[in-house]
Structures are given as C-alpha cells and as structure tokens.
C-alpha cells in the first residue's frame, strides 16, 4: 500500500473526489481488497478496509460488479456499470458505478471505484399494493373455497362467501355452522392433525351448497408455518359432486355389464347341464325299461340295472361339478405331502395327455404338506391338463412345479407351450363354458376354480396372449407335523340302535328308511326340522343318532340340530345335503357333526352310521 505519506495522499485525493460527487469513493488493489472506503458507506459497512469488494456488494449485483472491476484492470480503461437494487429501508434505488484503473506507487495496479446513487428513488408501496390486489383477485376467483382457520377451528379469513352472506357472517365462526355434524367432526380431526404433525390432511365430506342441497367436497388442510409452531391452517375445499356422480355412473355401468356377463354364463351353464343330464336320464330310463321288460319275461336284468347305476353315478358327478362351479361344494381335506400326491397323480395325468405332448414334473426336494381332498385335487389337475392338451393340438410341453411361497402358502404351477390366452380373457376363462382360445369349451376351469376355493385356495392364469399359459394354484401350507395313523379294518355295515331321519323329500326319505331298516336299525321319520325336534323331544332318551337333511322347510337342519342340542348336548348327528348353501357354518365338523353329500351310496351311509354308533378302535401305538 506504500509509505504512510503516500497513503495519506490517496486518502486526501479520495476525499477531494467525494466532495465533488453525490456518492462514495473507494480505492481497491488488484486482488479487489478495499484500501480505502469513504463517507457514510464506510460507517455503514463497519471495518471495510482489508475486505474484498464483493463482500460489500448485494448478492444479486455481486457478479456484475466484480466483472466490471476485472475488465477495468485487464483493459486498463475506465469501465461503467448501472444496476437497480432495494435499499435497507425497502425503497428502490438505481446505482451507477465507474471503475478507473491507475498505477500506484511502486508500479502496482490500483483502481478507484466511484459509486453514485441516482436521485430517482421510488416508493415500492404502490407496487406492493398492486401486487396484493392482483393476488387477492386471483384467490377470490379460484374455483375452490379457501379459508384460514385458527387453533380453535374458527374462520380467520375466507376468499369468498356464498350469496346471502358476508365475510363478517363467517369470520369468527366454526365449521359446525356450515356443514353436517359428521362433516364438522372430520374437519376438527383433520385440523387438529395438521396442527400436531405439521403435515397436509385430506378428507371428503358432504356440505350444503347455496341452495341448501348437500354436495360432496374434497378438503385439504395445510399448516401455515411461519415459525416452528403453526398458529393457523389453510383449508381448501373443492366441489367433487360431479366427479363422484360420474364415478358412480361408471360403477353402475360396470355392474350392469358384470350382471349381463353372469346371465350369459348362467345361460351357457344351464344349457350345458341340461344337455348332459338329459343324456343320463335317457340312459337310466332306457335301461330300466329293458329291466322291467326282462323281469316280465322272468329274466334277471342284472346288466341293465348295473348300467342304470353307472348312469346315476355319472349324474352325481355332474351335480358335484355344478356345485363346484357355484363354490358350494364340500370337500373332506386331509393332511398330505403335496409333492408325493402330485407324483402319484402323474400316471392318471398321462392318460389324458397324448404322446405328442411331453409331461414333466419337478418334485420339490423337501416335503411340503397341505390339507386337500385327494380326489377333488386330482379333478383339478386333470381339468388343467385337459385345457393344456386342447391348447396344443400339434403337441408341446406341460410342466408341473411346486414351490413354497413364504411361510404359510404353497404354489403349484402348471405351464404349457400351447396357444396363449388373450389378456382380456384371463379372468373370464374360469366362467362356465367360456372358450378362451377356441378350445376347452366346458366346465373344466370353472370346476377347478370352485374346488380350489373350497380348499381355501385360489387359481390364477398367466399368459402374454401369444404362446404359452401358466396356471398357478395356491394352497395354505401346513407346518406342524401330524402323527401317523393306522387304517381301520373294514367296517361292518349292520348294527342296532334307534335313528331319527328328517328329510322333506318323500322318495328320498323312504329310500333312507329302507337302507337303515335292512341294516338292522330302528327308524323314526320326520318330514321337516320342526317335526324332527318334536319327535326327538318325545324319544330323547332312546334316539342314538339323528340324520338331518340340511335344507328343509319350516326349520332347516342346522337350526333343528341347535334345538336338539339343548335337549341332549351329546347327541350324534349326520347332515345330508345335495346343496349345502350357507346353512352349515364353516366349523360344523369341529363341533362333532358329519356331512354326507347326495347322492350317496348305501355303503357310504351305513359306514358313516357305523362309525358313529360303533367306531372301530385304533390300536395303541404306545407300549
């Protein structure tokens, strides 16, 4: 900076320049350090000497000022800069900067920066007021209702009010005056949550419009945080009545379409079942006619009778499939190792798969246990293989795999390389008689879906629509091990005891009585649940077993059973049904009841009766 005499000289020079201009003068070196700062700026800036120039320039103008100084040093020519800024008292100011480079003592580069504030200062108040008016008009013309609420849930400010009210009618009041009690409660809860968490809250309520008609509004509550503690929240309410009406109309159209599809499925189902059942009736009627004619001639028409029995068995299978489609089938699941069960079924599956289709199965390395009805599960696998076979008329591959999904679920996948299923049909293929790709027209997949639902599982289809389909079956997994059981010996079909039979169908009741009587049992008969209760009341001490049809007039089987239990809690019962509907509770078996599905064979009925009245004891496995 030179000797003291030189420093005093430059300070005197700067003061002389300052006295001739309306502004300030500073002297800076090549590193933009302040050597001298004159006048009021020096006082306002504190100890400025030694600081860099950019430390004293407002941030928005800092780059332009530094650039101007650098140009002056590099060009050794005076440079000029003008900029506008807001002063500390909030007033607008235009400044003019002139930088004059020169050579200081010893040859170093110095510069004088002469800053002049113009006299064209203007008050920002009118512009601020215009900005506020602009903002006010924008807010007032918003389609939404906007309000500021305090911690007491009172209106502090609103952007508009409904016709007939003024802002004074709203300010200071709470939301109870303008919405339903339920809406007020939800509003209070949302505002309290916004105050407590400083987060935005959302809810929908009904509120009356200007005509008093309830409309739906979606409300957002936002905390206004000027400090760490919010004192107010912003409430923004949007009318969504039309949106909800449109959504409701769309849902109604979807429901109508779904019902139409259901009716179409029911029509297809009824037509297919009627066709198959009429064929079976034709067989039964024809063979029984032959049997009657043969008996008239003194013959024993055993072959005709056996053919009629086979036809009735097929009819029973048909009704079982129908119940499975309607998710009404009852299954008797038992604990099995799924890998071993599928391995056993592979021989049956190969019978329905032609030689031009390769069938493979990857058995899991570790045992996986599930609870399934083996015959029902076999039907599921067969139906899926038949669908895969029909999708590959020219041959292909079918692969089965089993994998655990998490801790409590098992998935069995059956994949084929046949024609894919269009994405829009992936859910409809489980409808009765729906042909996904021109093949597999029938009940197969609908029955499979129904049986999986009866096991507490589900089935889904996956395909890209071009090639290949994967069916995924999911079942609950059994983790706990179960002890091995010893199969009982062949049960004797005859016995003794008094059995109360309640069946509303006369022909069925007569047939059941005949079966039981021939096996040595005494039988009481009732045509409905109410009469069964009356008859049991009369013979409560002597009845050994009650056989109840599930669906009966006056009083159904389950309610009759509940009343009988009040008379004798330890009574033994077998329910029979051709259609269980929702009468029996899911845990009926855990309560000691048994279920026999119609049509059943004489041996099945007598075996169930014998098992309850004289069960075969299991041998003791422990010494």
The answer on 217 and 134 residing in a single domain is yes
Question: Are β-strands 573-577 and 545-549 bridged in parallel, bridged antiparallel, or unpaired?
Answer: parallel
Residues 272 and 197 in one domain: no
- Residue 444 shares a structural domain with residue 534: no
12 found inside a domain: yes
Task: Give the torsion through C-alpha atoms of 403, 409, 414, 417, to 10 deg.
Answer: -70
Label residue 291 by pLDDT band (50, 70, 90).
confident
Residue 621 lies in a domain: no
Distance CA 203, CA 181 (A): 15
Domain boundary among 325, 346, 376: 325
Predicted pLDDT at 24: 79
Among residues 304, 325, 346, the one where a domain terminates is: 325
Would you say residue 493 lies in a domain? no
Three-state DSSP class for residue 95: strand
Nearest to residue 114, comparing CAs of 243, 21, 235?
A: 21
Rounded distance between C-alpha atoms, residue 448 and residue 372, angstroms = 13
- Same domain as 549, residue 424: no
| 451-480 pLDDT tens trace | 888 888 999 999 988 889 999 999 999 876
Q: Would you state the pLDDT for residue 359?
A: 92
Please check the confidence at residue 121 and state whether its pLDDT lies above 50: no
Within 13 Å of residue 545, how many CA atoms lie on the same side as its CB? Answer: 25
Q: Among residues of the chain, what percentage have pLDDT more than 90?
A: 21
CA angle 128, 129, 133 (to 5 degrees): 120
In a domain, 48, yes or no: yes
What's the CATH code of the domain at 78? 3.30.450.20
- In the predicted structure, residue 442 carries a pLDDT above the cut 90: no
pLDDT for the residue numbered 440: 43
What secondary structure does DSSP assign to 299-322, as a single string?
---HHHHHHHHHHHHHHHHHHHHH
- Answer yes or no: is pLDDT of 261 > 80: no
**Within a domain: 531:** yes
- Same domain for 285 and 212, yes or no, is no
33 in any annotated domain: yes
Q: Are residues 473 and 502 in the same domain?
A: no
349 in the same domain as 445:
yes
Higher pLDDT, 311 or 394: 394
The range of the structural domain enclosing residue 89 comes to: 4-117
Q: What is the pLDDT of residues 35-91, one digit of tens each?
A: 877 754 554 445 678 888 888 777 667 778 888 999 999 999 999 988 776 555 555
Whether residue 409 is found in the same domain as residue 522:
no
3 state SS of 236: strand
- Looking at every residue in the chain, the average pLDDT score rounds to 79
Task: Please check whether residues 469 and 370 belong to one and the same domain.
Answer: yes
Choosing from 175, 208, 239, the residue where a domain stops is 239
Q: Give the pLDDT band (50/70/90) at residue 21.
A: low
In a domain, 173, yes or no: yes
**Number of folded domains in the chain?**
5
Do the Cβ atoms of 195 and 153 come closer than 8 Å?
Answer: no
Instruction: Please report which helix (H) or strand (E) contains residue 587, including its range.
Output: none
Q: What is the pLDDT of residue 411?
A: 94
The distance from CA 31 to its chain's CA centroid, rounded to whole angstroms, is 67
Q: What is the pLDDT of residue 144?
A: 83
Residue 13 in 3-state DSSP?
Answer: helix
Per-residue pLDDT tens digits for 336-382: 899 998 998 887 788 778 888 999 998 888 899 998 887 778 888 88
Residues 105 and 138 in one domain: no
Q: Are 298 and 353 found together in one domain?
A: no
Average pLDDT over residues 431-456: 69
């Amino acid at each position: 900076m030179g000797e003291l005499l030189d420093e005093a000289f430059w300070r005197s020079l700067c003061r002389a320049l300052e006295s001739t201009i309306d502004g300030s003068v500073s002297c800076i070196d090549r590193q933009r350090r302040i050597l001298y700062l004159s006048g009021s700026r020096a006082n306002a800036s504190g100890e400025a000497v030694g600081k860099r120039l950019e430390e004293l320039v407002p941030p928005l103008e800092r780059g332009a000022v530094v650039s101007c100084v650098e140009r002056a040093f590099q060009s050794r020519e005076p440079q000029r800069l003008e900029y506008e800024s807001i002063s500390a008292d909030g007033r607008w100011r235009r400044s003019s900067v002139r930088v004059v480079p020169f050579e200081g003592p010893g040859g170093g580069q110095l510069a004088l920066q002469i800053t002049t504030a113009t006299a064209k200062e203007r008050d920002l108040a009118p512009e601020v007021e215009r900005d506020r008016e602009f903002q006010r008009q924008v807010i007032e013309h918003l389609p939404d209702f906007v309000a500021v609420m305090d911690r007491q849930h009172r209106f502090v400010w609103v952007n508009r009010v409904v016709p007939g009210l003024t802002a004074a009618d709203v300010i200071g009041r709470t939301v109870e005056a303008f919405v339903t009690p339920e809406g007020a409660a939800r509003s209070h809860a949302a505002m309290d949550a916004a105050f407590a968490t400083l987060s935005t809250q959302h809810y929908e309520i009904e509120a009356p419009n200007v005509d008093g008609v309830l409309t739906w509004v979606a409300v957002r509550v936002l905390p206004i945080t000027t400090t760490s503690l919010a004192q107010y929240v912003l409430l923004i309410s949007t009318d969504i009545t039309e949106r909800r009406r449109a959504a409701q109309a769309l849902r109604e159209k979807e429901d109508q379409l779904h019902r139409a599809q259901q009716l179409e499925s029911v029509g297809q189902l009824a037509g297919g079942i009627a066709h198959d059942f009429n064929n079976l009736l034709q067989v039964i009627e024809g063979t029984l006619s032959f049997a009657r004619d043969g008996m008239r001639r003194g013959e024993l028409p055993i072959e005709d009778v056996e053919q009629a029995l086979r036809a009735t068995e097929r009819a029973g299978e048909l009704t079982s499939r129908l119940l499975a489609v309607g998710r009404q089938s009852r299954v008797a699941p038992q604990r099995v190792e799924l890998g071993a069960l599928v391995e056993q079924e592979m021989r049956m599956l190969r019978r329905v798969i032609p030689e031009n289709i390769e069938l493979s199965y990857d058995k899991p390395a570790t045992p996986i246990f599930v609870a399934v009805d083996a015959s029902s599960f076999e039907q599921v696998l067969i139906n899926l293989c038949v669908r895969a076979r029909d999708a590959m008329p020219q041959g292909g591959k079918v692969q089965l795999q089993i994998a655990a999904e998490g801790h409590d679920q098992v998935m069995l996948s059956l994949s084929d390389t046949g024609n894919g299923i269009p994405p829009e049909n992936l859910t409809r293929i489980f409808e009765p008689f729906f042909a996904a790709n021109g093949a597999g027209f029938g009940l197969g997949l609908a029955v499979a879906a129904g049986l999986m639902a009866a096991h507490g599982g589900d089935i889904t289809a996956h395909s890209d629509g071009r090639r290949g389909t994967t069916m995924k079956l999911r079942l609950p997994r059994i983790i706990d091990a179960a002890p091995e059981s010893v199969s009982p010996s062949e049960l004797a079909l005859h016995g003794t005891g008094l059995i109360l039979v309640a069946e509303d169908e006369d022909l069925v009741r007569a047939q059941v009585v005949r079966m039981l009587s021939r096996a040595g049992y005494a039988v009481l008969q009732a045509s409905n649940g109410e009469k069964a209760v009356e008859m049991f009341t009369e013979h409560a001490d002597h009845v050994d077993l009650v056989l109840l049809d599930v669906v009966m007039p006056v009083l159904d089987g389950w309610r009759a059973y509940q009343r009988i239990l009040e008379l004798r809690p330890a009574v033994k019962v077998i329910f029979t049904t051709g259609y269980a509907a929702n009468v029996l509770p899911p845990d009926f078996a855990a309560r000691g009841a048994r279920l026999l599905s119609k049509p059943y064979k004489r041996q099945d009925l007598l075996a169930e009766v014998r098992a309850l009245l004289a069960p075969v004891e299991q041998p003791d496995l422990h010494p």
